[in-house]
Amino acid sequence: MKQNMKMTSLAAAAFMASSTAFSAGEVEVLHWWTSGGEAASVNYLKDKLDGAGVSWSDFAVAGGGGENAMTVLKSRAISGNPPTAAQIKGPSIQEWGDLGFLADINGVAKDNNWDGLLPSVVSDVMKHNGNYVAAPVNVHRVNWLWSNPEVFRKSGATIPTTWDDFMVQAKKIQDAGYIALAHGGQDWQDATVFEAVVLGIGGPEYYQKAFVETDMDALNSDTTTAVFETFGKLRQFIDSNSPGRDWNVATSMVINGEAAMQIMGDWAKGEFKVAGKSVGTDYTCTAAPDTSGSFTFNVDSFAFFSQSDLGNQQAQKVMAKEILGSDFQEVFNLNKGSIPARLGMSRDKFDSCAHDSMDAFIASSQTGGLVPSFAHGMAVSSAVSGAIYDVATNFFNSDQSAAEGASQLVSAVKAAK
Ligand code: GAL
């Protein structure tokens, strides 16, 4: 009996040793992808890692745009216990790199030719001091208008391509008894709509100067007042239940025909897909008014935090490699509504919205119309983007005049830079 027990525990120990030898470790991954389309996307990453022997510890922090997730990430990092990988984007990657938190994944990047696979507008953001510290999963286009064609038909309205026309069509929709603009009153959603107005009214050159380079002359100009004028006119087209509403709930209002339009990045398409809707018949995607030649880009990426455990270091490398794999880039982006970050991918399985996005990405990169999204952390430091959020949201939720909005923006950006 004693002998038997001894043998069993030896066998168990041997089994455990062999199973650890096969396991490539664990990744704890912080992200904010909790809506239907987002969850379907991130689950594919989990499956891929599972197939590669890496186990997944989910660290999801709900809240569109990721503000809550970033707050939680800071407290974990400060207490000396950051996750293995976290969804961090744009200039924030540099901020975390400067603080010394990030791990270098150059080896994986070199072995898999990331410099050759990624457009430089993407790879530049993934590097800190010339070393890869993050892996990109996609390219989202933010300046989209999502519409329900049936609501338009019933209202005798047409999908607007300019902001002037938007006001005319939105009025018809409202008069027909529908909500013209589905919107969630959260600061990042206010900033997303504001960004579309900045791009449409100011054009990409003004956008770049004022909201990327934070040039004070560009910000302190009549164009900024004109932007706030148009932005302010949108207040009348949203419903009184919008405060606090999540973005995917706003998308569902367009899906179910309660509202005609939503201005949102193409993660909204993930929700139409989960609801079983088809582009062209059930919904349409067009560029936000006056922005058809431009593209506000938002690249989601995972940054890797330095780890002392060798197994976890190995797991990070596997995760980085899987993310740039062509199968992952295809399936993830079909679910997410975005387009692959990796170049040279087949377009066959993607729909017309994705094709439009792919074409606009290339065309706008040649004309200067390709600009980073400030509403999604791609353009300016977190301090400056926070200042823009505050001004946009205060303005949108008050009866401030356009001149007041513009002057508050100038002071807030000046103080934050
Ligand atoms: C964006 C993010 C997208 C999407 C969206 C809503 O900032 O880049 O991937 O998830 O927030 O949560």
pLDDT tens digits, 288-305: 999 999 999 999 999 999
* Backbone angles phi and psi of 102, in degrees to 5: -95, 150
Q: Which of 352, 370, 386 is the last residue of a domain?
A: 352
pLDDT at 352 over 80: yes
pLDDT at 391 over 80: yes
Q: What is the pLDDT of residues 180-234, one digit of tens each?
A: 999 999 999 999 999 999 999 999 999 999 999 999 999 999 999 999 999 999 9
261, 146 Cβ separation under 8 angstroms? yes
pTM of this prediction?
Answer: 0.94
Band of pLDDT at residue 23, cut at 50, 70 and 90: low
How far apart are alpha carbons 90 and 122 in whole angstroms?
9
Name residues contacting ligand 1 (CB within 6 A): 32-33, 38, 64-66, 140, 247, 267, 298, 300, 376
How far apart are alpha carbons 402 and 109 in whole angstroms?
47
How far apart are alpha carbons 340 and 327 in whole angstroms?
10
Report helix, strand or coil for 298.
strand
Q: What is the pLDDT of residues 126-170, one digit of tens each?
A: 999 999 999 999 999 999 999 999 999 999 999 999 999 999 999
**Which ligand 1 atom lies nearest to the CA of residue 35?**
12
Short-list 167, 161, 124, 118, CA closest to 143: 161
Q: What is the pLDDT of residues 31-62, one digit of tens each?
A: 999 999 999 999 999 999 999 999 999 999 99
- The reply to whether 167 and 191 lie within a common domain is yes
Short-list 231, 165, 170, 173, CA closest to 198: 231
- The reply to whether 262 and 374 lie within a common domain is yes
User: Ligand 1 atom 8: the closest Cα is on which residue?
Assistant: 300
CATH of the domain at 278: 3.40.190.10
**Which ligand 1 atom lies nearest to the CA of residue 33?**
10
**Which ligand 1 atom lies nearest to the CA of residue 376?**
7
- The reply to whether 129 and 218 lie within a common domain is no
167, 233 Cβ separation under 8 angstroms? yes
- The reply to whether 56 and 146 lie within a common domain is no
Instruction: Provide the domain count of the chain.
Output: 2
Alpha carbon of 39 to ligand 1 centroid (Å) = 12
Reading the block at residue 298, the tokens are 């938002």
- Give the residue numbers spanning the domain of 35: 26-139+299-352
Q: What percent of the chain has pLDDT over 70?
A: 94
* Mean pLDDT (the chain, rounded): 94
Alpha carbon of 169 to ligand 1 centroid (Å) = 28
- The reply to whether 116 and 253 lie within a common domain is no
- Average pLDDT value for residue range 267-273: 98
* Backbone angles phi and psi of 62, in degrees to 5: -65, 155
pLDDT at 22 over 60: no
